Amino acid sequence: MVVRKIAVKFDFSQILCKVLFNTMSNITKSAVVALLLAMATATLPLRAAKKSDAADEGQVALAVANWLQQAHYTRQPLDKEMSARLLNTYLEQLDYNKLYFTQEDVDEFSKKYSASLDQSILRGNMEPPHEIFTRFKMRVENRVASNKKLAEKNYDFKDNQNVELNRQKSPWPKNLAEADKIWKARVEAELLQEHLNEFKLRPPKETVIRRYDQALRNVREMEGDDVLKVFLNSLAQSYDPHSDYLSPSDMENFQISMKLSLVGIGAVLTSEDGYVKIREIVPGGPADRDARLKVSDRIVAVAQDQEDFVDVVDMKLDKVVEKIRGKKGTLVRLQVIPSDADDPSKRSIVDITREEVKLKDSEAKAEVLDVTAPDGKISRIGWITLPSFYANMSGDGTPKSTTADVDALLERLKKEGIEGLVMDLRRDGGGSLEEAINLTGLFIPKGPVVQAKDPSGKITVSSDKNPEISYTGPMIVLMNRLSASASEIFAAALQDYGRAVIVGDEQSFGKGTVQTVVELDKSAAALPFFNTERPQAGALKLTIQKFYRIRGGSTQSQGVKSDIVLPSRTDNPEIGEDSLKNRLPYDEVAPVILASNTNGENLFLEEMRNRSQKRISEDPEFVYVNEDMRRLRERIEKNSISTNEKIRRQEIADEKSRKESRKEERLARGPIINAKVRQVTLDDVKNHREDLEVVAYERNRDKKYNEEDPEETEDGKKTEQKLPEPDPIRNEAVRIISDLIDFSGLGKTVSTTKAQEVSAEPKP
């Protein structure tokens, strides 16, 4: 099932191991001039511009190639070596699980294009990627036709064969005959999965066949610009995993995710069985105030103002998204099948005026926790959850700033009298580099935060220039392997200054590179022959620097090591920079001089580590986590699933029994942490609300930040009302910050303070 959030946020679950990025790092003026001169002198094919909004794809490809060669951190030329890497990347982007192409296809394309794709791009010839995609489309069409025939057969599910789950590291099928064998087993496994599904909406055969039909529709709906996008993204990621080609719609989504607002109707949409369904209504948004759209309503057609309706059944979700978005104050009309309609042929029309909708779910948020220890002592702890390092970089709308928002929350938390602070950066994939530097400045003296090295080897030190410190009390930063980029800059600086204890997975993601975004249609020097009215060329997110800690080491690949490591379901080597292809290597630069009092001795790490390890060994929730991780490692190593119904039912029964036992054990022992929690939102701060909302400590705070059970079935994930499960990482973080408060001997927080400056001069 595909999910896209309109006017809420964008589903970043698909970017688990890539597309975790920093942006908007500055290139020096001289470097910009040099780049533009290089682009201006590049050889471009003198062909007429198309009379449409779309830019000539050959020119776009050439511009992307030139930017990568001239401005990427590695400055690697687009040569035969890169050509071979690009071909492999493109094939895997199209067929990531190696199920449609055969080794014969791959050998044929390698012989034809492995050493010549570079020249095709430099000549503006995009025939090779289209030829490869045409073969892929044919393979999908033929495979769907044969799979539907296989799905119509009767199976007794008594065979004991194992089906490989993840084929990304497997070889391509040798030929079509071997591919047939692979698919025969997969079809049987899918039918068995639906047969075992307790929440069946339709017969298993129908469900599986619909799934294949949808896969075929998705491929058939790919147009020329979609193919170009996949190919150019493959080209960019052949240089490193964090460089990307952004189509015009991708660029719009990127800007939305950074400024946390867009103009729309305020709904979360999902694609299911060819229909676009309402999955959620955003509180306070246009659809919420209108009150006619309901969850599970299906949208069948969309019209702009009084124009004719356009049928959107079986249309790609992205295209439906584009039709529903629009300018503020304009009208969009939706033809829907109401979720409560007795007659499925019933239609209703809902007209909604588009407005700006704030993406509240992605803003910083806070809590005040009054934690009662076993001895009866109460500690007041502030907890700030930061989903991303956002900033309004497009220049329109109300400015958004991570630093300003966190500073405002800190002021309220200090007013509440917190004694310690937890910054929760679990699953924070990064964002604005400038915000990472400025946010660090809220907690450290004036001084260096991060170093960056450009392609020429020049090192620049970025510093916090504000001498004021917003919070000086005890502090920990909570991270996991999904914390990346800007999160790592922030955590590394606080660790190097000895300002905070880093707690969580063994290490963070390990993304130590800096990206900038080049809007191609605004780069006249790069694209001089484009239609000057509206070329719609997209943009290139380009790796231009590597960043380094102020003590000299890079976070690239190695990430930020936790001072106190906690067992975690995300602490898996398959997650992180080291798992990505074409990653840049780890290296070091000279350290920056720091004041002598920033060695972390005031953090009592050894004592706190010993206390934490003792608690972990006795905490039943961490016993569960360790059991889950052992099973997960075994499952990853096995990488297969049985097509035998008896075996599968036993596995399901064992899983259900284990979960039921855990529920009973949790009920018997009660909550591990005794805490009263009050929620603090930015609206609370803005409106000076005195009475904060009291919420349960153990609750489904936000599905994005709760750890998922790695063995949870798809059926389980579809369950609407899930009971909140204890978050052992959160529990132990509360206990660690309580320890730090005790060790530090601080009663109340300290207000805004002037601090001693720290030298930013590198050692000779």
CB 55 within 8 A of CB 224: no
CB 362 within 8 A of CB 385: no
Q: What is the 3-state secondary structure (H, E, C) of 139-186?
A: HHHHHHHHHHHHHHCCCCCCCCCEEECCCCCCCCCCCHHHHHHHHHHH
State whether residue 726 is helix, strand or coil. coil
For 615, other C-beta atoms within 10 Å of its C-beta total 16
The helix (H) or strand (E) run that includes residue 695 is strand 693-695
Please report the DSSP string for 466-496 in residue order: --EES--S-EEEEE-TT--THHHHHHHHHHH
For 511, other C-beta atoms within 10 Å of its C-beta total 32
- Dihedral of CA 74/80/81/87: which sign? positive
Residues 53, 57, 61: CA angle, nearest 5 degrees: 130
CB 405 within 8 A of CB 417: no
For 119, other C-beta atoms within 10 Å of its C-beta total 14
Nearest CA to 118 out of 156, 86, 162, 74 is that of: 86
Task: In whole angstroms, give the CA distance from residue 615 to residue 609.
Answer: 10
DSSP 577: G
Please report the DSSP string for 380-435 in residue order: EEEEEE---B-B--SS-SS--BHHHHHHHHHHHHHHTT-SEEEEE-TT---EEHHH
CB 260 within 8 A of CB 362: yes
Query: 511 catalytic, yes or no?
Result: yes
Spot the catalytic one: 511, 541, 554, 738: 511
Task: In whole angstroms, give the CA distance from residue 512 to residue 403.
Answer: 21
Pair of tokens at residue 380 = 């007041």
State whether residue 51 is helix, strand or coil. coil
DSSP 574: T
Most distant CA atoms of the chain, gap in Å? 80
Task: In whole angstroms, give the CA distance from residue 278 to residue 652.
Answer: 31
What backbone phi and psi angles, to 5 degrees, belong to 302? -135, 140
Task: In whole angstroms, give the CA distance from residue 40 to residue 529.
Answer: 11
State whether residue 464 is helix, strand or coil. strand
The helix, strand and coil proportions of the chain, stated in percent and rounded to the nearest 5, come to 40, 20, 40
- Tokens 């609206």 — which residue? 683
Spot the catalytic one: 297, 405, 496, 571: 496
Query: 496 catalytic, yes or no?
Result: yes
Task: In whole angstroms, give the CA distance from residue 362 to residue 335.
Answer: 30
DSSP 49: P
Spot the catalytic one: 485, 487, 612, 642: 485
**Which distant-in-sequence residues (6+ apart) come within 8 Å of 138 by Cβ?**
none
- Dihedral of CA 387/393/396/398: which sign? positive
CB 21 within 8 A of CB 543: no
Distance set, CA 226 to CA 220, 284, 313, 517 (Å): 11, 35, 20, 20
DSSP 633: H
State whether residue 290 is helix, strand or coil. helix
Q: What positions carry a catalytic annotation?
A: 485, 496, 511
